[in-house]
Structure 1
Amino acid sequence: MKEDLTVVVKYIKQLYPPEFNVFSTYAELYHNYFASQAKKNAESHLEDKDIYLLLSWVHNIYPKDMRKDHVLAEELEKVKLGRLLPSSLSNDLEKKYLDSEEATIKNSLSKCLDKEIQRWKEDKEPEKLNGHFQSELLAIFVIQSIYSGQKRAKDISAAVGEELSHRLSKELPAFLKSYKDAFEDFKEKSKKHRYYKPIIIMDDLPSPSQQAIIEKIHTRLVKDYIVRLLKRKVSLKTPAQQQNLAQHISKNAADLEAFCTSNGSQATWLNSALPKLAEIIRLQDLGAIKIEVATLATTYPDIRKRHLEAFLYIKANLSRGELKSILGYLADSTASTPPGAPLFSNINVS
């Protein structure tokens, strides 16, 4: 479709009078064919992986990949192609996908906890790290399970990702309660276990363990969100567009903070990162932007010019001189590598 429509734009369109709308005709014919095939597939019996693939095409691959093509983008803006699937069918597929993904993650966490309980019961001394009994395997597995699921959902669409996040926000507390109940049961029934004390020491009691898990999740969420902002995918020219994005980021930041805090995270140092970035997007006065950048650099001194430059790509109405001025201001503020918890230093910018 892309190749043929490119030929239409470059060679065929000019052979016809403008009122013929040649490009529109070709685009609509292709779109209608794809839509009929998508509908046919959606109405058939699909495995979970096929549902995921079809939703990816409907929400992400088809509309975005076509509009990435610089030759076609302008022409496609003039053509209202609509969706590949009717809303009712798309909603049904999304529900099936979300139900399946939620069940898969829930089952995965349950199996993970069963393995952890089995590990407690083994007649084997727990491993030591730096001379201390501890284990991060459970926390790591939980984080990977939840956030690999969330990433898959967000790759379909932001709305599907948010819905899965909402569902999983209920699963995590349930998992932590199951962990706590299982550990209390082990403590009560296994006092004669040869390695009872090391296991009790290793497992930082239920509350600290829960806190450690949610704080790692909290950090990962904030970092992943920042990474998405630094990918140079959005370039907004007007203050109104930037204002809308800033409001969207602020709302997401508030939801993220509320979720993590309500589940026990005390990593309050993370909470101002996204709101500060949102404020930089919102502000239009150069002096005010510099002040906000300075505040950001003071709070997160591991931010570097490469991070800020990638982020400021969003503000397409900045002149080269203004951009250079802002970046130079940051470079003076962060001359050395700071101590403390890193946020930006672990984020690579391509």
Structure 2
Amino acid sequence: MARWGGERDTSYRAGRTRPDHSAVLGPGFPVNPQQSSPPAQVCVRHTDRPTGLSCTRCGRPACPECLRPASVGQHCVDCVRADQRSTRKVRTASGAVAARSATPFVTYVLIALNVVVYAITAAQSRSLMANERGSALFIDWVMYPPAVAAGEWFRVVGSGFLHYGLIHLLLNMFALYIVGRDIEPVLGRARYLAVYLISLFGGSAAVMFLAQDNLTAGASGAVYGLFGAVTVILLRLRQNPNSMLILIGINVFISFSLPGISLWGHLGGLAAGTLATLGVMFLPGWLRARTPEQVRTVGVIALVVLASATLALIGAAAMFLG
């Protein structure tokens, strides 16, 4: 009895080519799926890396290294950068762009420079407490108005990094650390450094006019300028400045009372730092600056004018002495 279905095609057993069934199975049905599968996606930034991931914003394939977590899915680094450029920058009350890092780098650098200069003078003099004796660097940099009038202008800046003994250094660096870490994020690093230097110049200018026979050294003038800067910032932020005013009053009283302290260097630095910070924090409002760019421009111009004025005063004193 014959089997149901009739004869079977057994020609492939004899080495013949297997019949093409695509017509029966339908068009597009793969005879060999391995040969007709689509190619794997590769990362748009690393073409040698196959990936099954993609950016949920632009849809492009990306490897794990090029993706960043997002509130919805994950974004590629190109989309993250584009979003950062389009996002409005957060600015402080002075118009400075708020730093992502709260680390006061400029303050730490200034402290490090003061410590390094002191270490050099101590090594040259072989004394921690009397480092001004026998130190060539101290002799060359100390603020001496007749020497500045003779052309040694580097003393104007260099004297601000010298200190009479370890106690003098520690007191100034402690004060610089306390006030600097609060001022730097508000003003921004560049403005903060400008206020510090203008305070230093202001102290030197006062010494040039009012303490011409003294040998003056120390960061005290610049630190007093930062005291004034903190007071102005507190007023601008509508906070109570009484604590800073009391601190300034105590330090000014000490400067009057104790011998060997550069009173005029302190007062000159205080005045210069206060005026410089007023120019950054209040002058743009007084001039009705509206946009962040206008606020920043007015502040920069104020700092340039004050720096030029303090240097001009030093120059005038030098001409008078000469």
TM-score, normalised by the number of residues in structure 1: 0.26
The structure, 1 or 2, with the larger RCO (C-alpha pairs under 8 Å, 6+ apart) is: 2
Rg (Cα) greater in structure = 2
TM-score, normalised by the number of residues in structure 2: 0.28
